[in-house]
Structure 1
Amino acid sequence: MKKSKRKFFQQQLKKLNETEKKQLYKRAANLRKASQVDAMKRKHSFRSRIDHRSNWDNESNFEKKKKTPKMDIDDWALKVLEEEGIQTLRETCRHREDLGEYSEKYYGMIEEVMPAESLVYSEGRDVKCIIGPEFSMTQKSDLAVGDNVYFSYAKDGTAVLHSVEPRKTCISRPDPTKAGIERVTAANVDKAVIVAAIKRPELRPSLIDRYLIAAQKGGVEPVVCINKIDLINEYAKEKEMEVLKAYQEIGLKVVECSAASGLGLDKLKESLASARSVFVGHSGTGKTSLLNRLCPCAEAQTGSVHNGTGLGRHTTNNSKLYHIENNIWIIDTPGIREFGLWNMNPDDLKWYFEEFDYFAENCRYSDCSHTHEPGCAVKQAVEENQISRTRYQSYLRILETISKNSS
């Protein structure tokens, strides 16, 4: 921060009262914590690169990086003031002070999370709550659609969210913009409906596999939903669906349907009965279109697939919870093109491909990674078509990606 800017924000800091300063430093501490996690990850990555080189004894090969000045908590506080502004801080603190007038807490479930506020379903109605300062820096990790929360009303009638119950399940991924930060897509869901399209965009088993792993890690039951089956004839469908037999063989439920024609929607609705589910998948697969067919009153915005590339367009911007009949709750999420796995160790990946387990017992080495080792029974099973080659290739690609990210 330039000296002129620093002097300006130091003057702003002096204008704050004790309560406002307390909330400012809480935010600063959260921001510093997130930065430290990021720094540790970069440090680990640097050390791993050194371990894989043999000539580091030669000092000419080692170039020391200039150390950046350490920031103390006051520096972080000034950074928060720079990013958010003094008025935003004072407005939030005013609502926090007003909470002291009320002892009653209300219970609800988050329907949608937006910058600085959230929509909460409580006692049959929607309540817009501002987000307390304790969540301001960690909002994408600490608050998610599906979270069970408590809020209270300030004197002016403003609802302020101030606490979250521990999650039972979740679907999450690494934040694509901030290393070392978890971004939670949906919380407390029973089922993850992985929506893929038979055509436009092309079926991507590797993305399905990534979602399956995320669902297993988060304690969520996965369901594979193949949409747009009206776009191909029976002969072509049989050929395209061949790749999905591997998922049925390991006991996964695969539902074929069409949001356009309505075919198979009854089966999909039956699989979602009395459950809270989240629709996830590639952009353009028709997640929101399926939601609109299941719940016409949702009237969620949809978009078309790009005519030239066949890729989906990003239409849904925020995850949002909808209440359907028969006690069905559905969280609609923005489509993505890449899905990273949160906190995944390369050595643990093989355990998420359960069809490997039976054959892995006969591998020559107990810690076999099923990639290059001689005497690998899993690789032999792939060659003998006892394990899906598509699933195995997906395993290798995911392993390569997370190995790079962890090194």
Structure 2
Amino acid sequence: MSKQGRVIQSTGKWYKVAEKDGDTIYDCRLPGRFRLDKKEVTNPVAVGDNVTFTVESDGAGTITEIHERENYIPRQATHGRRGEQILAANIDRAWVVQSVRQPKLNLGFIDRFLVTCEAYEIPAGIIVNKMDLAKKGDEAFVEDIRELYIGLGYSFLTTSIHNEESISRLEKELKAKTSVFIGPSGTGKTSLLNAVQPNLGLRTGEVSGYSNKGKHTTTFATLIPVSERGYIVDTPGIRELGLVNIEKSELSLFFPEMLEPREHCKYYNCTHTHEPGCGVVKAFEEGRIDPDRYNSYINILQSLD
């Protein structure tokens, strides 16, 4: 008998699937034909996917159909593998989580994340965590980038697990939505989940004092229920977010502040770097495009070679 369910955890070989309209969770296998059909994807099934599965006599399940996704967040496959890795599927909002310190905030990572969300039409937000570690000058810097990204249309939260008001604001944003936390290790993604839902008891780690980078604690992406019909995908920390299926000629389409200026470019194939009559360069020179954002555009453009 076939059942409907949602993938709540992926270990690469086995998938935990929560039965739709039920409380039972099944360990499911994925037939090899799905991997053959999707050679360009390292994980044919992702957390958040809706699937059809059958239950065998031993109690284990077999996924027989992967339903069409509403959306998904990919990144370039790592460890020398080709193709793309799907971080999460069927989500209402994606949050990039950064910490003000330990490890330090990375604007380049934020902008790569936002480009991916723009390209795949996923509402995006930014969380700057560990505000209790902020030193002199940090708060002014965070306020400056808050104004920048809010002005571009993105949600922006500052949080600390020691500040109940900030956790309450985050909790409201998670209500009745399926969200995903993406960011480097050590930024406190799992700690935030424990603060929002204290009974979870998820394992957290410390930041390495040697490298000032986080240690991987979350091993597999997992879909976790939070208060008031919300779900959050807690993902393993990632240090790089390689873009996939984005051409150099279309990159500026995913920078909201470049959409209007690029209409004034002299050349249709303008890269917005050196060409005469470039509307984007003019907007940058006139201060209508933030220097850090323009530098992110240049860095991402060069990485697409």
Name the TM-score, length of structure 2 as normaliser: 0.92
Tell me if 1:105 matches 2:105. no
CA contact (8 A) 1:201 1:312 kept: yes
Separation (CA, whole Å) in 2 of partners of 1:106 and 1:131: 15
Q: Which runs of 5+ in 1 are unaligned?
A: 1-103
Q: For residue 8 of structure 2, give the secondary structure of its aligned residue in structure 1.
A: strand
CA contact (8 A) 1:127 1:159 kept: yes
The correspondence of residues 156-235 of structure 1 with structure 2, limited to 5 A, is 156-232=58-134
Separation (CA, whole Å) in 1 of partners of 2:226 and 2:24: 15
| Larger CA deviation: 173-182 vs 391-400 | 173-182
Shift of 1:233: 5.1
Aligned to 1:133: 32
CA contact (8 A) 1:170 1:184 kept: yes
| Larger CA deviation: 136-145 vs 156-165 | 136-145
Separation (CA, whole Å) in 2 of partners of 1:200 and 1:179: 30
Q: What is the CA deviation profile of residues 326-349 of structure 1, one whole-angstrom value per residue up to 9, with x for unaligned ones? A: 111000001111110111111110
CA contact (8 A) 1:246 1:391 kept: no
Separation (CA, whole Å) in 2 of partners of 1:401 and 1:164: 32
| Larger CA deviation: 208-217 vs 123-132 | 123-132
Q: For residue 259 of structure 2, give the secondary structure of its aligned residue in structure 1.
A: helix
Tell me if 1:357 matches 2:259. yes
Separation (CA, whole Å) in 1 of partners of 2:109 and 2:30: 33
Separation (CA, whole Å) in 2 of partners of 1:117 and 1:361: 48
Q: Which amino acid aligns with 1:135?
A: F
Q: Which amino acid aligns with 1:107?
A: Q
Q: For residue 297 of structure 1, give the secondary structure of its aligned residue in structure 2.
A: coil
Q: For residue 264 of structure 1, give the secondary structure of its aligned residue in structure 2.
A: helix
Aligned to 2:54: 152
Separation (CA, whole Å) in 2 of partners of 1:291 and 1:140: 27
- Whichever structure has more strand as a proportion of its residues is 2
Aligned to 1:32: none
| Larger CA deviation: 252-261 vs 333-342 | 252-261
Separation (CA, whole Å) in 1 of partners of 2:32 and 2:269: 46
Separation (CA, whole Å) in 2 of partners of 1:223 and 1:287: 14
Q: CA RMSD in A?
A: 1.8
Tell me if 1:120 matches 2:120. no
Separation (CA, whole Å) in 2 of partners of 1:188 and 1:112: 14
CA contact (8 A) 2:26 2:60 kept: no
Shift of 1:216: 2.0
Q: Which amino acid aligns with 1:169?
A: N
Aligned to 2:228: 326
Shift of 1:178: 4.9
Separation (CA, whole Å) in 1 of partners of 2:139 and 2:244: 34
Percent sequence identity is: 32
Q: Which has the higher contact order (CA 8 A, sep 6+)?
A: 2
Aligned to 2:286: 384
Q: Residues 355, 310 of structure 1: CA spacing in aligned structure 2 closer, same or farther, 3 A cutoff? A: same
Aligned to 1:287: 189
Shift of 1:235: 5.0
Aligned to 1:92: none
Q: For residue 230 of structure 1, give the secondary structure of its aligned residue in structure 2.
A: helix
Q: Which amino acid aligns with 1:301?
A: R
Q: Residues 380, 247 of structure 1: CA spacing in aligned structure 2 closer, same or farther, 3 A cutoff? A: same
> Which of residues 189, 209, 214 in structure 2 aligns to 1:312?
214
Separation (CA, whole Å) in 2 of partners of 1:232 and 1:179: 38
CA contact (8 A) 1:243 1:390 kept: no
Q: Residues 201, 157 of structure 1: CA spacing in aligned structure 2 closer, same or farther, 3 A cutoff? A: closer
Q: For residue 103 of structure 2, give the secondary structure of its aligned residue in structure 1.
A: coil
Shift of 1:302: 1.0
CA contact (8 A) 2:12 2:43 kept: no
The correspondence of residues 228-377 of structure 1 with structure 2, limited to 5 A, is 228-232=130-134, 236-377=138-279
Q: Which amino acid aligns with 1:160?
A: T
Shift of 1:210: 0.8
Ranges of 4+ aligned residues in structure 1 off by more than 6 Å: none
Instruction: Select the structure of larger CA radius of gyration.
Output: 1
Q: What is the CA deviation profile of residues 99-118 of structure 1, one whole-angstrom value per residue up to 9, with x for unaligned ones? A: xxxxx210000011124311
Q: Which amino acid aligns with 1:112?
A: Q
Separation (CA, whole Å) in 2 of partners of 1:286 and 1:170: 23
Q: What is the CA deviation profile of residues 343-365 of structure 1, one whole-angstrom value per residue up to 9, with x for unaligned ones? A: 11111101001101222222232
Q: Which runs of 5+ in 2 are unaligned?
A: none
Q: What is the CA deviation profile of residues 195-243 of structure 1, one whole-angstrom value per residue up to 9, with x for unaligned ones? A: 1111111111111111111112223110111111111257530134313
Shift of 1:378: 1.6
- Whichever structure has more helix as a proportion of its residues is 1
Shift of 1:263: 4.2
Shift of 1:259: 2.2
Q: Which amino acid aligns with 1:129?
A: C
Q: How many residues align?
A: 300
CA contact (8 A) 2:35 2:44 kept: no
